[in-house]
Amino acid sequence: MNPTERRPILRLHEGTFIPAVDEFAEEIHVTLTSEAGHRVSVLASPQDLDAFAIGHALSEGWWDGLGKAPTAIHGSDEVGQTVHLEGASGWGPVKESRFILPSCGGCGEQLSAPPPGHRFRGGSPVLPSIIVERLLSMKEHQDMFRATGGVHAAALFAADADLVLKEDIGRHTALDKAVGAWLQAGQEQPPTTLLLSGRCGWDLMAKVVRLGLPQVACVGAMSNQAAMLARDHGILVMGFATKTDPQFVGPWSDVATKA
């Protein structure tokens, strides 16, 4: 399925409306389920659904992150696409079924600290200068954003490894896809840093905690709840990272005190 679609529009040029066409980001209904009974419905971009399902299972605590990743089985129903996960070495507790909009990865959740995960622990944090360089290079890989201007991006990298970047209409869904893509690539070392093309709220930081990632950087702001959750778990966060005066939260190695 094509992640973008061309549709007719009108453009205003020198006071006159002119017929034209433009590229729009596609948005579909996706239902994720597991053999353990997990279920969630999401509005998402239609590409990389295998990576999305596997990444969501890890970042939301469906899968404990030990052993091999679950297998994704595609299907469809009356409202959209389905992906069923089976074969994981261990499953986490089953929550209530939810419907997640692109803008609300934590809809219906209490803002309590999630149990920390371990799959992505062990990576060494990188310097802010390297983070800025990698954030700026993200745009080279954001094909959907260049075409539509209507999607987010999330990327993972280790200190000396290439970016693993994915795009989606949802911030949280882009993160899940990047996580799943990293696992599918069979990387030998864990990622050190998550890069976000926008802001970082509690919902994204909760995923970071469940993943065990040590470091996050975002082009936009972090929320107060995201900052508090990061401090509680010793996560290093860089907000407004491409500005000349970025903000820092966490035990950065090149500053004297913990922010």
Enzyme catalytic residues: 104
Amino acid letter at 212? G
Structure tokens at 209: 């905690």
- Own/partner pairs for 162-167, CB < 8 Å, 24+ apart? 163/134, 163/137, 163/138, 163/195, 164/191, 165/138, 165/141, 165/195, 166/48, 166/51, 167/3, 167/45, 167/142, 167/143
Contact 117, 212 (CB under 8 A): yes
The closest alpha carbon to 123, from 25, 244, 246, 211, belongs to 211
What's the rounded Cα separation, in Å, for the pair 230 and 213?
11
Beta bridge partners, 6, equal 23
